[in-house]
Structure 1
Amino acid sequence: MQNKIDHFAIGCSDLETGVAYLQDKLGVHVPKGGKHAAMSTHNCVMQAGNESFFELIAIDPDAPDPGRARWFTLDDAATQKRLSERPRALTWVVNTTDLDRIIADSPVDLGEVVDFARGDRTWRLTVPRDGSLPENGLLPAFIEWSPGPHPSTGQQDLEVRLQSVKLTHPDPSRIEAMLTTLNVRHLAEVSQGEAGLAFALNSPSGSVLLD
């Protein structure tokens, strides 16, 4: 089983606001991506190095109600309040070659496995039915792609690189134990503090921490 960071998500109240915020922080204009019909969301994306990508995501105001809770807590009132203040780090997603084993071994409920498709690519992703995030986003979602080149290879390279996923928690050993069980301990830095998620990036504007 191989696990690596697939992508990481920054949420925003609307994509225009998020793009402007990232232009100021990173010195790049994140291009439009696509729409997620099953979740009534849309995104902007760019490469982030090592076959991973950066996702800026928001509720799609032109899409109908999805008939279920949107992913990444986007329907949650507390998340919406936070995003009204500024874009925020929401979650990170790990690319795995054995999603079923990850789910079987997980110490927490990762949610249901939802099948998605865009064009000729399909993927399976863990999505809690209530739209929550495992450990409030400190534990990743997991994705398994259909065979083929990673989607990041078709995205623009704006010289933004993910340096590390940073997790803080009052009981870091508990989070570390969960990450170890999920076989992803090597993919994040864990330290003690108020529970939080952040992404350390190198960009045309220098080193930037997005939380």
Structure 2
Amino acid sequence: MRNKIDHFAIGADTLDQGIAAMAQALGVEVPRGGKHEAMSTHNCVMQAGNESFFELIAIDPEAPADPGRPRWFTLDEPATQARLAERPRALCWVVGTDDLDGVLAASPVDLGEVVLFTRGDRSWRLTVPRDGSLPMGGLLPAFIEWSPGPHPSTGQQDLGVTLEQVQLSHPDPDALTKMLEALNVDHLADVQEGPAALSFALNTPKGSVILD
């Protein structure tokens, strides 16, 4: 089973808010991406090194207000919406795998159902909890399996931003590490003791930046 960081998501109240905030923090304007019709969300994306990408995501005001299921990444939760109204926040990290069914079988926690998404000639299977929550509040990753073909990041702009490290903190770091080990992703994140939190350490045109 080959697991690697596929992408990571920064949530925003609106894409315009997120684009402006990222321009100030990172020194680049994240290009607009596409729409997720099944979730009534849209995004901006750019390369983040090692065939991974940076995703800025927000509720799409032009899409149906009710997509028929809770949106992913807790975007429907009032607490998340209140936090994003203040500023963009780190929401989720996503691990790419070539054996999604194996990941689910080995997981010590419920990662959610597997949802099939399509855009153009590409498709992907992604773990999405039915209630729109995030496993352990986003400390555990979502998992994605792409259809055959080049990784989507290869078609995105390289603006000089690379992911250096996924950073996790938890009051019981040993317990969190054991969960990550069971998922075969413990090598993909740094775990420290502290209040539960997710952040991304980036190398950018403005130097080292941590987004939380």
TM-score category, normalised to shorter length: over 0.9
| Aligned counterparts of 1:61 and 1:160: Cα–Cα separation in 2 | 28
> Aligned residue for 2:24?
24
Question: For residues 83-94 of structure 1, what are the structure 2 equivalents within 5 Å?
Answer: 83-94=84-95
RMSD of aligned residue pairs (Cα, Å): 0.3
Structure 2: gaps of 5 or more residues:
none
> Aligned residue for 1:14?
14
TM-score scaled by length of structure 2: 0.99
C-alpha deviation, 1:90, in angstroms: 0.1
> Aligned residue for 1:61?
61
C-alpha deviation, 1:126, in angstroms: 0.1
C-alpha deviation, 1:85, in angstroms: 0.5
Question: For residues 111-122 of structure 1, what are the structure 2 equivalents within 5 Å?
Answer: 111-122=112-123
C-alpha deviation, 1:55, in angstroms: 0.1
Identity %: 73
Equivalent AA in structure 2 for residue 205 of structure 1: K
Equivalent AA in structure 2 for residue 10 of structure 1: I
| Aligned counterparts of 2:169 and 2:83: Cα–Cα separation in 1 | 18
> Aligned residue for 1:108?
109
TM-score scaled by length of structure 1: 1.00
| Aligned counterparts of 1:112 and 1:4: Cα–Cα separation in 2 | 20
> Aligned residue for 1:208?
209
C-alpha deviation, 1:38, in angstroms: 0.3
Question: For residues 1-211 of structure 1, what are the structure 2 equivalents within 5 Å?
Answer: 1-64=1-64, 65-211=66-212
C-alpha deviation, 1:9, in angstroms: 0.2
C-alpha deviation, 1:205, in angstroms: 0.5
Structure 1: gaps of 5 or more residues:
none
Equivalent AA in structure 1 for residue 44 of structure 2: C
SS at match of 2:80: helix
CA deviation digits over 1:111-150, x for unaligned, max 9?
A: 0000000000000000000000000000000000000000
CA deviation digits over 1:139-193, x for unaligned, max 9?
A: 0000000000000000000000000000000000011000000000000000000
Aligned length: 211
